[in-house]
Amino acid sequence: MNLSCCCSTHSPALAVALPLLGAMLVMLIPAERRPQLRGIVFFLAAALGAFAAISAAGWALALGSCDYVFGAGPAFGLPEGALGRGAAGAVPIRIVFHIDAAGALMLLIAAVTSTAAALYALRSEEGTTALPAFQPLYLLLVAGVYGMVATGDAFNFFVFLEITSLAGAALAACRIDRGLAAEAGLKYAAISSLGGLSYLAGVGLLLARHDLLNIAALSQAIQGGGPSATDYAALGLMALPLAMKAGTVPMHQWTPDTYSRAPHPVSAFLLISSQASLFGLFRVAFTLFGAPVVSTTSLGAFLAVLAALSMFVGVTMAIPQHDVKRLISHHAVSQTGYMLLGASVALAVLGDAEKTAAFGRDALAGSLFHMMNYAIYNGLLFLAAGAVVWRTGKRNLDDMGGLGRAMPVTMLCFGIGALAIAGIPPMSGFASKWVLYESVFRYSPLLAIVAMVVSLLTLASFVKVFQAMFLGPARKHLAEVKEVPLAMAFPMLLLALATIAIGLFPDVVMQRLLLPAADALLK
């Protein structure tokens, strides 16, 4: 297979271009006079973008990796060294997308969740004052996330990072909500913006030292030449803001505010935007700096401590919450801890080939597995909780009760999501947590025990939520509540089905997707 075969499909570029184009188109359609046309264009742009992303991911998985060079057709050939493996002395200056198995996994996750949330948004956001702003911003966020996981250029990553930050903050704020949503949006924007600047300064340092921006070429230069002080400074400047944007303790305060105030489908997709940041952290730590730099620092152990703190602080903050979306948002912090845990164990043993083969690789695969499952079941929880809030108009658990009879489908979906997040078999959350327990235990039994205890607390918390929302006697003020329409139930059922399917066949997913992805990061 030669390169041009892959590039001729243009799907990596289309995955970003279609949602961007859709965002512009949607803005041209008047929201009040043509709401249906606007909805169709909005959903088509999201679905076609997802289709392009899935096809790019398929190419990448089939070929091992997929490169797309902007500004150069196959007829012109690639400039020597454009992908970082050319002859010495050539200058890799073009912007490239480089999708390996890990990037393909992230593209798949983003594609599935963005389409489900967009379909849900067609009804849930119908007629709201936020709608005119919501649709283009959502498409921008989707384009930004695809770009972040697909790009092979360190500066280009910054551009997409800022696109997701801007769109995410504006989406979190777009309901205003007596100023509360604006407060959440401002907080998110401020934190993202400072984090982005720190990342940019790190890129500047690397450019100064190595005269390169292409990630593959940079990683060759960094790992080939022996680490310097500049490299360590750049690692810190780039890794920490990405950990912050992923929502890990101690920089997690923005997470519950932003997730809980955003429109429901946005909450579900903001998770993916945070995950793209976490994936960026993996890229920086594993691909860019790799064993020669990371193994001489204590970054892995440091991140493992942050991960354990995130798991614990997230769940203990979640238990006393009464606002259902805020409660799930605190659990999101806790789950981010799990995803970081496996990867940090892999980072901690990165320099040791024996330990990496014994459990580091599995720990990283477990992390990626949990990212995939979390995107689906936590998205599902936000959509199902959003469905309840949408029908009842209440956010407080104390005002709910007995909704199971009126909303059986929502109850079923929420229940599946709750079982998955608590790690109960046969749901997907059990499979990924099991991989994490096994591999993390061999690095540090204490961390594995923390993870298990947090899992129990998560279960306790969700038993309470489920009981408060759906069980118990019917409430008088909720007598008129009905099941959500099909357009909202269908995406929830789809995600619920995926949760069960992954839980039933974890081995297939592991062999086909996750181990190749972990190997691509470790390479």
Cα dihedral 232/238/239/241 (nearest 10): 140
In terms of Cβ atoms closer than 10 Å to its own Cβ (0-12, 13-18, 19+), residue 477 is exposed
Number of shown-chain residues binding other proteins (CB under 8 A): 35
Whole-angstrom Cα distance, residue 335 to residue 307? 9
Tell me which stretch binds other proteins (CB under 8 A): 112-120, 177-185, 346-354, 382-390: 177-185
Tell me whether residue 256 or residue 503 sits nearer to other proteins (CB atom).
256
What the block records as the tokens of 204 is 């500047």
- Euclidean distance between the first and final Cα of the chain, in Å? 21
At closest approach, how far in Å is the CB of 398 from other proteins? Answer: 15
Whole-angstrom Cα distance, residue 46 to residue 352? 43
Query: Among 172, 171, 146, 174, which residue's Cα sits nearest to residue 161?
Result: 146
At closest approach, how far in Å is the CB of 258 from other proteins? Answer: 9
At closest approach, how far in Å is the CB of 277 from other proteins? Answer: 16
At closest approach, how far in Å is the CB of 182 from other proteins? Answer: 4
Number of H helices, E strands in the chain: 22, 2
Q: Check residue 173 for interaction with other proteins (CB under 8 A).
A: yes
Considering only residues 190 to 219 of the shown chain, the ones binding other proteins according to CB under 8 A are 190, 193-194, 196-197, 200-201, 203-204, 207-208, 213
Residues 6+ apart with CB under 8 A from 226: 292
At closest approach, how far in Å is the CB of 329 from other proteins? Answer: 11
Tell me which stretch binds other proteins (CB under 8 A): 20-28, 71-79, 114-122, 169-177: 169-177
At closest approach, how far in Å is the CB of 358 from other proteins? Answer: 42
Considering only residues 70 to 129 of the shown chain, the ones binding other proteins according to CB under 8 A are 93
What the block records as the tokens of 282 is 């993996």
Secondary structure string (H, E, C) spanning 211-225: CCCEHHHHHHHHHHH
Tell me whether residue 100 or residue 153 sits nearer to other proteins (CB atom).
153
Q: Which of 261, 355, 370, 433 binds other proteins (CB under 8 A)?
A: 261
- Are the C-beta atoms of residues 165 and 30 closer than 8 Å to each other? no
Q: Which of 51, 155, 232, 302 binds other proteins (CB under 8 A)?
A: 155
Q: Which of 51, 63, 162, 297 binds other proteins (CB under 8 A)?
A: 162
At closest approach, how far in Å is the CB of 213 from other proteins? Answer: 7
Whole-angstrom Cα distance, residue 148 to residue 344? 21
- Are the C-beta atoms of residues 275 and 371 closer than 8 Å to each other? yes
Tell me whether residue 171 or residue 364 sits nearer to other proteins (CB atom).
171
- Are the C-beta atoms of residues 306 and 421 closer than 8 Å to each other? no
Q: Check residue 166 for interaction with other proteins (CB under 8 A).
A: yes
Whole-angstrom Cα distance, residue 120 to residue 118? 5
Q: Check residue 380 for interaction with other proteins (CB under 8 A).
A: no
What the block records as the tokens of 456 is 């129990």
Q: Check residue 399 for interaction with other proteins (CB under 8 A).
A: no
Whole-angstrom Cα distance, residue 356 to residue 354? 5
Q: Check residue 179 for interaction with other proteins (CB under 8 A).
A: yes
Q: Which of 41, 117, 143, 169 binds other proteins (CB under 8 A)?
A: 169
Question: Residue numbers of the site for other proteins (CB under 8 A)?
Answer: 93, 155, 158-159, 162, 165-166, 169-170, 173, 176, 178-180, 182-187, 189-190, 193-194, 196-197, 200-201, 203-204, 207-208, 213, 257, 261
